[in-house]
Structure 1
Amino acid sequence: MPLKEFQLFLVLFICSLIKSSDGGRKSPCLQSRNTASFNITRCPQDRKELENRSKLFKCEEQKQNCTTAKLYKYHCVLNSKGDGYIELCAPEVVIIGRRCTEYTTGGQFLQEHLENICTACPFKYKSSESYKYNECYKLEHPSTPSIMQEKKKEDSGDENISFVKQKDVG
């Protein structure tokens, strides 16, 4: 098989894997925008923090017609500029290409943040698992304190770190 044909085959194969994945489709979800909180200074860094924030958002109980209740999950991800965080309920999608997860307010869906490669990220992962890859929470042009600044405060014994109170999502 000539190289160009092999490359085309490989691209089509990868696309078919993405299409048949367990995650939702990357299509607009208007209800996600209504749950979004933009003034976040920090995203969950471990499973326990993620579960606590997820309980507050109650994503599976939200009325939406984007996906099944099971796939409508809490996320804390980069904004599309990479200079802040967004906390919201959104359909879980598969992120590919060793990229971080971002929410695009224009398109109103989760997708790969294409600015940087994430060396800690696997080639393919579920968007709701982005909390596992702290590298993704290093802001490119911080408009809010970065995760590393928050970590320095934690290490210095400052116990006053908290999430910004989200707006009512109910």
Structure 2
Amino acid sequence: MDVDGIKTGAMDVDCKDSASTSSDSRFGQPIYKSEARLCPEAIGSIEYVVSCPTSKQEWDTAASKKNCSRLASHQNCSSAEQFKYHCVINGFRNETLEVCAPSRIIFGHCVEFNLLGGVIQDQMSSPCNNIFPKCDAIFRSTDAYKYPDCFDLVERSTTVDTTERIVLTTTTTTDNKYFYII
């Protein structure tokens, strides 16, 4: 299969920080390994946002405002051409964030930015399917806007202001004053 000129087959993924798997003999589960490395410039570029763009035009506008090309030539995480704007969920699935980071090929999961690792990666607890979340089997991390179901995975905590308002009312009658707290 070919994703924007990048061959993606069992052994011919042309992506220096692609994930590989092996099997854990104790559990029979795949172990995911990545050659991706911490990117301090990406971590420093994080901005939390209420929502991510869900169209190409919105994405391009947000990318222009974020101006990742300004950081691209001063980072050592990837080539300047690969250091791109992203708007994705975080690894805890409780925030959406904008970040400048090396783009990646994503394999059948939603995209996340891992805060501890400082990398864009597959959100392993969010495999794509035909119902929810809908996303392609293989896509570029910079195409996250095409998969709004992934943004819907975010469970934001809501804080309710429980401060009570106290209103002091004075009513005067001929013989007494009454105070009411409402």
The one-letter code of the counterpart of 2:151 is: Y
Match status 1:17 vs 2:12: yes
Unmatched 5+ residue regions in structure 1?
1-12, 145-170
Tell me the C-alpha RMSD between the 2 structures: 1.9
| Greater strand share, structure number | 2
Partner residue, 1:44: 53
Structure 1 length normalisation: TM-score?
0.69
Which of structures 1 and 2 has the bigger CA Rg? Answer: 2
- Percent identical residues: 27
The one-letter code of the counterpart of 2:142 is: S
Are the aligned partners of 2:82 and 2:103 in contact in 1 as well (CA < 8 Å)?
yes
Partner residue, 2:149: 135
Aligned residue pairs, count = 128
Name which of 113, 122, 135 aligns with 1:112: 122
The one-letter code of the counterpart of 1:21 is: C
Are the aligned partners of 1:23 and 1:92 in contact in 2 as well (CA < 8 Å)?
no
Cα distance change of structure 1 residues 139 and 122 upon mapping to structure 2, 3 Å threshold: closer
Q: Higher relative CO (CA 8 A, sep ≥ 6), structure 1 or 2?
A: 1
Q: Deviations over 1:50-106 (max 9, x none)?
A: 00110111112212111111110000001001111111100001111x200000110
Cα distance change of structure 1 residues 23 and 122 upon mapping to structure 2, 3 Å threshold: farther
Partner residue, 1:54: 63
Unmatched 5+ residue regions in structure 2?
1-8, 19-34, 159-182
| Greater helix share, structure number | 1
Matches for 1:71-150 after TM superposition, within 5 Å: 71-96=82-107, 98-119=108-129, 120-143=134-157
Partner residue, 1:35: 45
Structure 2 length normalisation: TM-score?
0.65
